[in-house]
Amino acid sequence: MNPAAWKILPLLAAGLSFLAPIGPRAARTAAVPAPDRAPIRLGVCDWTIGKAGDPKALAAAGALDLEGVQLSLTVKDGSLALLDPELQRAYRDESRRTGVALVSLCLGDLNGIPLKSDPRAEAWLGQSVAVAKAMGLRIVLVPFFGNGELRNDAAGVDAVVAALRRAAPAAERAGVVFALENYLSAEENLDILRRVGSPAAAVYYDVGNSQQVGHDVGREIRLLGRRIAEVHAKDTKGLYGKGSMDFAAVRRAMDDVGYAGWFVLEGTEMPLGVERSLKADVDFLRTLFPRR
């Protein structure tokens, strides 16, 4: 597919856009970050480890030296399964037992049942606010892939803006942020946020997806700045450190905008199998994002 300071702050000065881009030609020095840099913690999507909607994802993440898990808001009988207080309690209990944090939520079903055209999606968006508030989480990843694709769909973008404007007041009251993940450019995403006009709307930035469709990741991170709620770690061309993504440059861009939050692994290339591939990815990222 998908923060520390969630409220919308002024955009970074346009002059930052000239700073070094991220890509296969950029420098790849894996220097350990300086102590005064903002802390960035490593998590994983529960679907990446094959445990979507399952509290056992927390133990699996801990075994891989990961500090947190992004949870799927799976749909059961037409509603979000995590509306169930017992399931919420199971996640909290497992988090305390393992020491692995609950990071954020993801409405993955919106890729098949899109917010731009299906009223069920907007109902789930509203339900996600209740789940996030009950679980003490702030970010709900709202994806726009598959049936929900927004590229070259102005009418779809208009519908999404309208839906977010309707849902934003309840999210604001609950301190919840809808973080939009898509293939759009930074400028297009900023225009959506401007039109929604609420601190409850932000961007969920996926470095792999953005590079895959030709966006300059370094420029985009610097342009979006504090409107990035959270970030997905991804390389669509191989294991981290061996594929096309320059994660050292990603770290520099994050530092430039003061990003302090989660870097959530969403693995797509698993040449060694899920467990060994993720372990290799984590070991590489630890050279750039060490534990504090």
Fill in the amino acid letter for 171: A
Rounded alpha-carbon distances, angstroms, from residue 83 to 114, 155, 172, 198:
20, 31, 19, 25
Which of 3.40.50.10300, 3.20.20.150, 3.40.50.300, 2.40.50.140 is the CATH number of 36-285? 3.20.20.150
The three-state (H, E, C) secondary structure of 76-137, written as one string: ECCEEHHHCHHHHHHHHHHHHHHCCEEEEEECHHHHCCCCCCCHHHHHHHHHHHHHHHHHCC
Q: Which residue ranges make up each domain of the chain?
A: 36-285
CA distance 126 to 289: 34
Instruction: Write down the pTM of the prediction.
Output: 0.88
- Print pLDDT tens along the chain (292 aa): 533 333 333 333 333 332 333 333 333 434 444 555 778 999 999 999 999 999 999 999 999 999 999 999 999 999 999 999 999 999 999 999 999 999 999 999 999 999 999 999 999 999 999 999 999 999 999 999 999 999 999 999 999 999 999 999 999 999 999 999 999 999 999 999 999 999 999 999 999 999 999 999 999 999 999 999 999 999 999 999 999 999 999 999 999 999 999 999 998 899 999 999 999 999 999 999 999 8
- If we measure between CA atoms, which residue out of 238, 262, 286 comes closest to residue 24? 238
Strands 228-233 and 201-206: parallel
**Cβ-contact 187, 223 below 8 angstroms:** yes
CA–centroid distance for 5 within its chain: 14
